[in-house]
Amino acid sequence: MWTRSLIISKVDRLGDESFVATRLLRNPSDMANELKIYFRPSSVELFTKLFEEHLLIAAKLVDAAISGNGQLVAQLEQEWFRNADQIAQLMSEFFPTETKESWQMMMHEHLKLTKEEAVLRIGRKYAENVAIYDTIETQALGMADMIVNGIIKTFFKQYQ
């Protein structure tokens, strides 16, 4: 939801961009606080760093797309997918019940949908932009399910 809010703030120049960005950038530490219960601090720190990088690249991508800088968009998109692959690798180490490829598919789908959401907003295709958010929300809940299932299968075998 905060990613969507930032896209809207940037594209529509609402004046609240810095406040929304600050709130969005709280997500990595919020998630890290939950993960540190289960994983060693250095791994959680890496997760936090990668997730923050993920969000910062996304913000730069939206800015580059708004300005029409196709070359920068292409460069940032490569960085974004590289970062997603690093997150997928780490998640497969956290939760060996899922393969790196499963996490990559989930992450790549997330990037594809988020890019589509931004493109639709920039193109002022508001009905489609609102509709894609339902797909994004469903996909994000699927990611959350993978994480919860990974925690249960890895740490609470008695509940399987």
Give the pLDDT score at 86.
Answer: 98
In a domain, 136, yes or no: yes
Nearest CA-CA partner of 25 in 73, 72, 57: 57
Q: Would residue 159 count as lying in a domain?
A: no
**What is the structure's pLDDT at 160?**
56
Average pLDDT of 91-95?
A: 93
Q: How many structural domains does the chain have?
A: 1
State the pTM of this model: 0.92
Asked whether residue 121 carries a pLDDT value surpassing 70, the answer given is: yes
Q: What is the residue range of 10's domain? A: 2-152
User: Considering the domain boundaries, does residue 157 fall inside one?
Assistant: no
Q: Considering the domain boundaries, does residue 102 fall inside one?
A: yes
- 158 in a domain, yes or no? no
51 is a domain residue? yes
pLDDT at residue 158, rounded to an integer: 63
Q: 16-55 pLDDT, tens per residue?
A: 999 999 999 999 999 999 999 999 999 999 999 999 999 9
In a domain, 85, yes or no: yes
> Does any domain span residue 29?
yes
